[in-house]
Structure 1
Amino acid sequence: MAPAAGVVLVDKAGGMTSHDVVARARRAFGTRKIGHAGTLDPMATGLLVLGVEAATRLLTFVVGLDKTYHATILLGVTTDSDDADGEVTGRADHSSLDAVSDAAIAAGVASLTGRISQVPSRVSAIKVAGRRAYDLARAGEDVVLEAREVTVSRFDAGAARRVPDGIELDVVVDCSSGTYIRALARDLGAALGVGGHLTALRRTRVGAFSVDDAVRVDALDSALPIDPATVGARVLGRLDVSAEEARDLRQGKRLAGASSRLGGGLRAAIDPAGLLVGVVEARGSDIKSVMNLPDPGRATSGTGEPG
């Protein structure tokens, strides 16, 4: 029997890939139909959002949500991956580090806050001519990635700590999807003239989902997925529909003249039984589905009879 569809929040440990977590979840839930929204590097810990069964269709709408990270940056040392997993490619001398003032750090952080242009790390998962950038980098090939616009709505840095290798900063970042915290570390170090890289990274929030509500990987066997209707309402907002409207949407029909009920944007259409019908949007004066979940009325039991 297939497990219930839903979303599971996992607190990923360091040293695991996101695919490792998915593999563990597939064993725990007894299904291969599991995906994740937003990769975390092996070095990183924190919130990984998994979709189970039909709820994998909702991950498309989770991936683009804004996120919060807690991180540690080491100024004074650069690496080829912009994080601690890479090879050291440069070290600043003591005189250069001594010249970095708290005011200069604050100015550098401010310059990386707001709408900024960012070049992703060369070992990111971005595809270049059909291949992942990190695969090209590991093969020794030159990787040239184009800058992209991202939004860093908060970049808070704690007090600077002078350590033997350089200057450590604990930071909290709220940012749009597609922002690379490693690149922030690299660019802050470059702006200060001493280089820098990321030494720790923890994702604590994805949209309305918090790591405080997540389970550890070793507790996946007892995890209860969040039902699709709750997820859809949190991510997109809720549109209640009648049983007749739910049937029409599931059959691919439009709700004629109903677009004023949406208020713009996408909404999660939820039927009187509290089940997620799908995701809808306005098309002219109508409401139309852009994604539907399987119709529970068509589910069958093991005998082939309606269940």
Structure 2
Amino acid sequence: MTMSDKYPSESGRRRFVKGVVGSAALSGVGVGGAATIDIATQPAGGGGGPTQFAAIQQLGGPAPRGMPYIPVETDEEGYLRGVWPEVETVTEEGVTYDVAQMELGGQTYSSAWYQYCGRQNAPGVQPSADQNNYFLSAGSPDYEWQAEELSEGDQIHVDDFAGYEDWGNGFGDDGVGKPAQATWRSEGTDNVLPVVLIRSKRVEELAQEDSEAGNWIEAASTNGIIAYLNVCTHFCCVPGYKESGSAAQYDAENGVYCQCHQSTYDPFTPEFGTFVALPRPD
């Protein structure tokens, strides 16, 4: 088989950049097996190691876990921003470092959630980084409504999701949820944090449930809007929500589908666990 036909076009599969392999391999290591790795690497950075997380649920494919939620809030004018915790100084394994950490919706939310796939090098995940927490519209978005109504760098507003109750774009069912692509805590940097926001009736309903998932969504969403870091935990590709005809082959037409290696996710079902966050460089 030649490289030209290794990934048939009907799969929608994309080649990945070799540079992400090292980070991705570490991101898939189990917590128990990675403790030694963490101890070995921790002195060169901060905030790594076993980390509790809340993420959109990983359903299928090779990805080891879900992609982490970003808690959302609105300002007094209705613009959307991500919640960033206050900075704390923590000492573990004899190493002292800063971490942005807080209790939210029954979970321990911290900046370490985003330290995988090379994003541990992103200036935006530094706990004390002077960064804008507003979600800014991405350039060249995949959604027609967003390309028509927003320009790159515009702050995303609750009203931008008008018509979310029945929005559709020809992939999957209408009315599942209206998305927007954004960047977060990335102004003036080359290592961008890509984000997807979704407003959905499913989020509104889940936020009313008296359950671990409901308590989290109630605390981490606003006006039925959720957000997550859109970096696949397998090999660091950027997946798509309701933007690929190939997703139907993997029962993901109404969810999140990574075309690189067919990992699928459900953005409306939280999963909770522990993964090994990579240390931030000093």
**If the TM-score is normalised by the length of the shorter chain, which range does it land in?**
under 0.3
Q: Of the two structures, which has the highest relative contact order with CA contacts closer than 8 Å and spacing of 6 or more?
A: 2
Q: Which has the larger radius of gyration?
A: 1
User: TM-score, normalised to structure 2's length?
Assistant: 0.20
Higher strand proportion (structure 1 or 2): 1
